[in-house]
Amino acid sequence: MISYARQTPEAQPDGTPPLVDDHIAPAPRVSVQAFCETVETAAAVQSAGEDRRLGKAHLKIQMGGMAAAIEAYRSAPTPNVIILETEGRNDILNGLDQLATVCDSGTRVIVIGRINDVTLYRELVRRGVSDYVIAPVNAIDVVRSICGLFSSPEAKAVGRIIAVVGAKGGVGASTIAHNVAWAIARDLALDSVVADLDLAFGTAGLDYNQDPPQGIADAVFSPDRVDTAFLDRLLSKCTDHLSLLAAPATLDRVYDFGVEAFDAIFDTLRTTMPCIVLDIPHQWSGWTKRALVGADDILIVAAPDLANLRNTKNIFDLLKASRPNDRTPLYCLNQVGIPKRPEINSGEFAKAIESEPIASIPFDPQMFGSAANNGQMIAEISATHRSTEMFLQIAQRLTGRGEAKKPRGSFLSPLIAKLRAK
């Protein structure tokens, strides 16, 4: 019998489809076979198969709908997930009854139909259908439905990966990444980890004033040992809500990695941490591209000059094309206002990239230099500094959390409250 996985389609309270930028957990390595009746649905499923969140799934599409599925599985085992497009009410119910006789136990079924009726939906649930999606569908509908089958409500939420990369070397992307992660952990009270991926020259340990004996190199060079307990031992605790997976920052070995070298680390971190901030070095390789494309949200850090504008646009355009069902990348300008340096203003940046920067962080060598040399964040030196507020705003945009944690009251607050009560 077809196994039951979800009772209600994911929709907003007003009945409209879910938002495109909702956080959708990636699907595991599963086999998915779709039987479509229309070219439009087949195209949507094909597009969904190219989405990063289905990168581990094996998707096969054929035409013929319910009849083709029943015929196909008379002599072949069923996959983990079957997607069926069908038209009429009787066609759905009768077809499912026949499919149940040839369907392997544990297979999950998603039905795409055109009838929006609660009675029909209840009949589908009674027959064990995992999800019912109203046609016409787009790629994100298919992605959400498949991925949702493997995200049970009682399971721990899958962490959000935020990737921060510089458009050019020396633009301060690591500094921005570390300060934004600090704001996520301190002001938004979200448990977070910073993964410093610049193994040769990483600065996260210096910026957080940490010198752990182990870090991310121990994980990437021991892929067979990577699990939750192993990574927990490698993490260095910076604050109550912030941990660090530090880079060794040594040159005693060469750090050449395959495309999938960090996959196991990222997947494991997702299961334990609500937020993972990747500090990605400014280099272009298979694994850096994979880390960017696979992230849930991306921040590009650029300085206001021509080379940064060109590089930002190139990265921006590539990521938009590679992630058609995700939110567009975000970018910010850093080191704005260096004396006597000609600059490209934010308006020209926005015109070229067709998107506004989310922040323009002013050049302040005294403040940022002191923070770097002392192993502190800007907020630790000056909670009222303009950049501190900008880091919080960036953190809110990247995490989708609009409200910051309320600041603690002063030690006089209880006394003042009592006086007011009188």
In sequence order, which residues have a C-beta less than 8 Å from that of residue 271 and are 6 or more positions away?
Answer: 156, 158, 159, 228
- Amino acid identity, position 272: T
Element (H, E) at 237: strand 236-237
85 within 8 A of 41, measured Cβ to Cβ: yes
- Amino acid identity, position 333: L
Distances in Å between the Cα of 200 and the Cα atoms of 176, 221, 255 are 19, 14, 7
Distances in Å between the Cα of 229 and the Cα atoms of 188, 268, 301 are 26, 10, 33
Higher pLDDT, 422 or 162: 162
- Amino acid identity, position 173: A
With 0-12 / 13-18 / 19 or more C-beta atoms within 10 angstroms meaning exposed / middle / buried, residue 162 is buried
pLDDT in tens, 390-414: 999 999 999 887 644 444 444 444 4
Q: Tell me, what's the pLDDT at 88?
A: 67
70 within 8 A of 43, measured Cβ to Cβ: no
Q: Does the predicted TM-score (pTM) go above 0.85?
A: no
Q: Tell me, what's the pLDDT at 51?
A: 92
The band of 415, judged by pLDDT with boundaries at 50, 70 and 90, is very low
Calculated CA dihedral for residues 171, 175, 177, 181, nearest 10 degrees: -160
The band of 198, judged by pLDDT with boundaries at 50, 70 and 90, is very high
**Structure token pair of residue 246:** 């530090």
pLDDT in tens, 67-123: 899 888 887 888 889 999 987 666 788 888 888 888 876 788 999 998 888 888 888
**Structure token pair of residue 418:** 């009592």
The DSSP string of 183-232 is HHHHTS---EEEEE--TTT--HHHHTT---S--HHHHHT-GGG-SHHHHH
The DSSP string of 36-80 is ESSHHHHHHHHHHHTSGGGTTSEEEEEESHHHHHHHHTTSS---S
The band of 153, judged by pLDDT with boundaries at 50, 70 and 90, is low
Q: Tell me, what's the pLDDT at 19?
A: 39
β-pair partners for 32: 59, 81
- Amino acid identity, position 340: K
Rounded (10°) angle between helices 89-100 and 65-72: 10
- Say how far apart CA 107 and CA 69 lie, in whole Å: 13
Q: What's the order of all strands across the beta sheet hosting 360-362?
A: 236-237, 242-245, 192-196, 275-280, 160-166, 297-302, 330-336, 360-362
